[in-house]
Structure 1
Amino acid sequence: MSLKYAVLAALLEGEASGYELSKIFDVSLANFWPATPQQLYRELERLAQDGLIEARVVQQERRPNKRLFTLTETGRRELGAFAAEPPRRPAALRDEFMIKIQAMDGADPGTTRELVEERLSWARGKLARYERVRERLLSGRTEEEHLREADRIGPYLTLMGGIALETENVRWCERVLVILGRRAPLS
């Protein structure tokens, strides 16, 4: 899959600037489809050229003019067709950190512990961000009310997946730290 469909899906939320889209990616899509701002801007240009999105310029007084992007009807149809297709292959995890853990037996145990503690900190930070997004999405409703009444539940369902993943990352890191602690040489 290309970045194209992730950008189109993000625009289902409504009109957004490139900057706003990069924030959407940081908060809700980066866990499963990361993109740099430069990649996003290049993709926005391609999507506009292909007629899948359109841009309008908003004049600003003290800042450079900004472009706001929206889905076209063609973009909505293409995104709908994409969403209806089964994935081409199962998800594959590519994580440099896991290679380091696989090779840890030859490394300094203190360094390995620091790497796991750093990953634990990242996971906890992501969980905290996800919980803030969750509260914003729910806006005073229960989860069941939101899932029953919201116009769109896709963002909440993907958020649930991110929360589950980071919760498991926290649990795994905590377990690894216990194991490493038990293996520490006695001085």
Structure 2
Amino acid sequence: MSLKYAVLAALLEGEASGYELSKVFDVSLANFWPATPQQLYRELERLARDGLIQARVVRQERRPDKRMFTLTEAGREDLRAFAAAPPRRPTAIRDELLIKIQAMDGVDPGTTRGQIEERMSWARGKLDRYTRVRERLLAGRTEDEFLREADRIGPYLTLMAGIAFEEENLRWCERVLTHLRRRSAVG
């Protein structure tokens, strides 16, 4: 899948500048589709050129003008067609840390523990951010109320996947650390 559909889906929330979209990616989409600001800006240009989004310039007094982007009807149709099509292939894990763990035998166990602890720190930070987003989305409602009443539930459902992913990251890291401690106690 290209970045195209992640950007179109982000614009379902409404008009946004490139900067605002990069923040949306940081908070809600990065758990399953990361992108750098440079990639986003290039994709926005392509989507505008293809007629899937439109841009308008907002003049600002003490700052550079900014471009605000919205979905066109063609963009909505393309996104609907994408959402209705079956996924091309299942998700595959590509994680540098897993390669390092695969090759860890003979490496100082402290180095490996440090890498696992760093992963745990990242996962906890993401969980904290996701929890804040969840609270903002729920706005005092229960999850059931939100899922019954909200206009759009897709962002919440993907947030749930991100939370589950990071919780599983933490469980896996704890298991790895437990096994490393057991091995060092024996060896």
TM-score interval (norm. to shorter): over 0.9
The Cα of 1:106 is off from its aligned counterpart by 2.0
Gaps of 5+ in 2: none
Hey, what does 1:160 align to over in structure 2? 160
**Paired letter, 1:149:** E
Question: Per-residue CA shift, 1:42-69, capped at 9, x if unaligned?
Answer: 0000000000000011111110000000
State how 1:1-187 maps to structure 2 within 5 Å: 1-184=1-184
- Alpha-carbon distance between aligned partners in 2 of 1:90 and 1:174, rounded to the nearest angstrom: 27
**Paired letter, 2:73:** E
The Cα of 1:102 is off from its aligned counterpart by 0.6
- Alpha-carbon distance between aligned partners in 1 of 2:125 and 2:82, rounded to the nearest angstrom: 32
The Cα of 1:136 is off from its aligned counterpart by 0.4
**Paired letter, 1:30:** A
- Alpha-carbon distance between aligned partners in 2 of 1:62 and 1:140, rounded to the nearest angstrom: 37
- Alpha-carbon distance between aligned partners in 2 of 1:106 and 1:39, rounded to the nearest angstrom: 39
- Secondary structure of 1:106's counterpart equals coil
**Paired letter, 2:114:** E
The Cα of 1:185 is off from its aligned counterpart by 5.0
Q: Structure 1 segments of 4 or more deviating over 4 A?
A: none
CA RMSD of aligned residues (A): 1.0
The Cα of 1:32 is off from its aligned counterpart by 1.0
**Paired letter, 2:55:** A
The Cα of 1:175 is off from its aligned counterpart by 1.4
The Cα of 1:80 is off from its aligned counterpart by 0.1
The Cα of 1:184 is off from its aligned counterpart by 1.1
Question: Per-residue CA shift, 1:120-143, capped at 9, x if unaligned?
Answer: 110011100000000000011110
- Alpha-carbon distance between aligned partners in 2 of 1:30 and 1:55, rounded to the nearest angstrom: 24
